Structure 1
């Protein structure tokens, strides 16, 4: 998918199926030093950087949500075709990112930006943001690295 193009997909939520419009907005690339600061074993991230994918999710149809959403669970980040390593809990603090677990009320027409942080090789030429419905083929947005 091209930058700025959105995908539409359904997610089984509690209390029912919701159709979302999904747009990968950007990927913020960090430095090796930043990656080393946020992991417990800095030696494991030598030559690697953080990639923070910003995705905008818009509730298009279905019931209003009252207890969070699972829409972000379908997101992964790839570098040069290889899946990165997810860094749990890192993106809630990133600028412009919301914590999906803080979104208790979500009605049709409303949008939220959730982020996913992955560790990828510093020398990757391209970064792909993937989002898929459960058991579905992923939509893929490509971003240049650097």
Structure 2
């Protein structure tokens, strides 16, 4: 059986982060796993983020942390339509069973990316990503994928 985001996860270097990402995909709700459009959107953000990271010579654990954050950013998007605007903050409870796959600072770095991936649309103004931060890079990747003027192939 094909695992969700198997190709993307296999690009990661850290065995711990890879294992966490695989387990997180197992823990992801069916509302995400069954939404082909959202999965395709996530793949596009992954491709853009990966290219930005390569162009900026960011690799190793840092790259794996960022790309895992991308893969997890929207797993709670379809859980409840009335809470869609705060979907970045609904991811944390979904990952409770797998959070111990990682040391706490790596887990928190991934969740910080997830919770701020909407950029200036992050529901809590104090959590908008700072320009130049890892979270900002992911927010920019989302903006690029959403642009009607740019086509991303996956």
Task: Give the alignment's TM-score, normalised by structure 2.
Answer: 0.27
The answer to which structure has the higher strand fraction is 1
Based on CA coordinates, which of the two structures has the bigger radius of gyration? 1
